[in-house]
Chains A and B, each alone.
Chain A
Amino acid sequence: MLEDRRLLKRLKHGDKEALRSIYEKYEGDLLTLAANLLRDPATAQDVVQDVFLGLVRSAPRLELRRTLRAYLATAVANRARDHYRRQARERFMPLDDAGPVPAGSDGPVQMLIRSDEMQRLRAAVEELPYEQREVLMLRVHAGLKFREIAKHQQVSLKTAISRYQYGLDKLRSMLNGEVSE
């Protein structure tokens, strides 16, 4: 955390090496978070880039009250949610207006472990209600505390914890019988 504060201080003064260090340190986790939140992993890369652009532009004024990891993770979650809402709206548009549908490949973003089991898990995660998916991913991939997640989702602590538990329960029931112990 102290290291992050030093990096951020250098970033404020336009130090590109500091920017590179922050990017290399967090890009993988943020991409994973975004890709798990969005059904389209390719969009995840745009989301992560947007978040780093935001960091660079706001750095001179930025006074972090929490960890850099938490700051970046909630920024990714905010932008992913915007994309998700946009996608949700587009799904109700007439087909002619919806524009080209991306091909099935993940393009520049790929899963690290492409086993059948992980593919099934990914499919199950995509079936979760967005709020539950978001709690799970912020907890597992960003290490946010439930209190921080509750604040991000503007819900009570209990709701955040319940969403987490319901999410796990749903995943378990979806995977039950399909994955080996």
Chain B
Amino acid sequence: MRSNDSLEDMLRNLRYQSTADGQRETLRNISHAMDETHAHAPACGRLGIRRITMYTRTGKLALAAAVTLIVLGGVTFWPSGHGSNGQWWLGAPAAWGQELLRSLDKIEAVVYRQRAGQAGDFGLPEMNVGWELRYNAKDCYRRDRYDDGVNIMNTQWVFRDGNDLRMIEVSHEYECYFERENEAYGFVEDPVEWLRSYVQLLDRADRQLDTEVFDGRECVGFEVSAARYGDKSKGRFDRIWFDTETRLPARIEQHGLDFGLHAGQPMVIIHDQFQYYAQVPADLFVPAIPEGYVNAHPDEVRAARDRQVKGEMVYAEVPDGLRERIIVALKTVDRGSYREAMTHADPEGNTDTHFPTRTYFVRNAWRTDLPDKGEVQIAHWYVLTGALPEGPFELADDFSVLETMVNYWEKNYRTIDHTEQHPPRHPVAQILFTAGLITMADRFHDSAQIDGVECFGFDVSAKKYGDNPDGAIHRIWFDAATALPVRMETHWPQRDGSGTLTTILDQFEWNSALPEDLFTPLIPPGFQQIEK
């Protein structure tokens, strides 16, 4: 029997090459295409782009790129231009802040990106996939939402119409649009005023941060407690970063926000990729409704679609305060372990059960063992290395998840230093997420005996939080005395019709004593190191 690794190695060697003539011909063809592309580029004017945006479906996908062509082009407002040498930010903020305020006075429009993420007590923080691009000018606002991180799903314009404010929102996801008048939409905040207020806080900053590079620009940052402007929530602070060359604000981070969306995981909002304009690009704020879109609110279209494809979404009555009780219980967990078993059932009812694994965890490490006949055959260790970031936390320079896998069958091991944006997730972070879905439960079970323990529990459709397969559900049972999970089930029908994957986590041991050396990778002498 070949292991996964040796089979993967064989597959890696299954390589193809084209002849030198073939390569030359391809290169000639694509070079020719490049000549044509650049010869025709000037014909791509603003009108053409707008027409595409309005009348074709492909236009909506190209909109982001088109907007970039029209608008961007950084402007330096700093009176001294680029001529200043040295670290200007080391001077008194009261002095250079005044110059900066004068620079901001010249700005008529600002474009920036807004993203959000979650931090937590378990594992590394994560940035959300989706983000927004916001365009602001006096009495004009536009917001493009990229829910999948790539395509515009939704655009909103707000503009002055006579003495009234008018808002138009287009949902490309649901192919509809709707209008509102004089409703309090979020655009009213003037970003220049907002930036000015940050600049005015600089001489009361709690600390200056080391320089960092964002989007290829060196920036210097200042950290300010949100209490300075009246937000006294625990753990709230902001960071404002200035481009060391243009000296304009380049990035603002708001840390420690709690909107109640993610159980026990405070949010961070990051505003970056700022572009400043001395003149407002007028076309940018002209609403464009693609042909064929219906006049309806996305919620109506979504509800109609849900009724068709998901059946009615149902919500159970869940006792007040239960979610908070669960979160508090889980957040006081320091260590523990559980068993995980995975079973695949095909449409004919045949089942295939994988060997159950056992996972052990502490706050900064976890380990998963695959045992067979009482002995560990494969072990994975995950250790958080470096200091947990306070932010900006999409940068993985100073920390990572170090994975060590030892295969006692094959007598080999490998190590992987995960520095990617979404490294392996701490098991309790995943448990917290699923447990936090209780307020969206389809059904609530207030009393049942599970594995000999008096429990309460709930079922929740995975449709409630994402575009997941029909019939995908989570079912969780909690110890009625401690509010800690006793059993967690996930039933996940495969989209390709190959059956259902069921994962069960049970045999939880919360805050149980664990050997000190359990989280130190043990590589027996003579084991061969293999590559990632």
Contact = CB atoms under 8 A, between A and B. Distances in A.
Contact of B38 (A14, A35, A145): A14
Contacts, number: 149
Contacts of B308: none
A42 B27 CA distance: 17
Interface string A143-168: 00101000100111011001101101
Interface stretch (A52-60, A80-88, A89-97): A52-60
B150 A155 contact: no
Contacts of B8: 140, 168
B413 to A, nearest CB: 20
Interface string B17-29: 1110111001101
B15 A111 contact: yes
Interface string B443-484: 000000000000000000000000011001000000000000
Contact of B31 (A19, A27, A35, A137): A19
B15 A28 contact: yes
A31 interface: yes
Nearest to A153: B495
B33 A56 contact: yes
A109 B21 CA distance: 11
B12 A121 contact: no
A14 B501 CA distance: 49
A176 B2 CA distance: 8
Given A57-B33, A176-B1, A140 B12 contact: yes
A79 to B, nearest CB: 14
Interface residues of B, number: 51
A59 B1 contact: no
Interface residues of A, number: 65
B7 interface: yes
B17 A109 contact: yes
Contacts of B21: 108
Nearest to B503: A158
A86 B33 CA distance: 26
A155 B64 CA distance: 25
B352 to A, nearest CB: 10
Residue in A28, A32, A61, A136 with the greatest tally of chain B CB atoms within 10 Å: A61
Interface in A38-54: 41, 44-45, 48-49, 52-53
A98 interface: no
Interface string B364-407: 00000000000000000000000000000000000000000000
A112 B13 CA distance: 8
Contacts of B494: 155, 159, 162
B397 to A, nearest CB: 14
Given A49-B30, A162-B344, A109 B496 contact: no
A181 interface: yes
30 contacts: A14-B37, A19-B34, A23-B26, A32-B16, A36-B14, A48-B26, A49-B30, A56-B30, A58-B65, A60-B37, A61-B66, A63-B65, A106-B16, A108-B22, A109-B16, A109-B19, A110-B17, A110-B18, A113-B14, A145-B422, A154-B495, A155-B494, A155-B495, A156-B468, A156-B469, A158-B501, A159-B495, A171-B11, A172-B2, A179-B2
Interface of B: 1-2, 4, 7-8, 10-19, 21-23, 26-27, 29-31, 33-34, 37-38, 41, 62, 64-66, 68-69, 148-150, 216, 344, 420, 422, 468-469, 472, 492, 494-496, 498, 501, 503
Interface of A: 5, 14, 16, 19-20, 23, 27-28, 31-32, 35-36, 41, 44-45, 48-49, 52-53, 55-63, 65, 106, 108-113, 117-118, 121-122, 125, 131, 136-137, 140-141, 145, 147, 151, 154-156, 158-159, 162-163, 165-166, 168, 171-172, 175-176, 179, 181
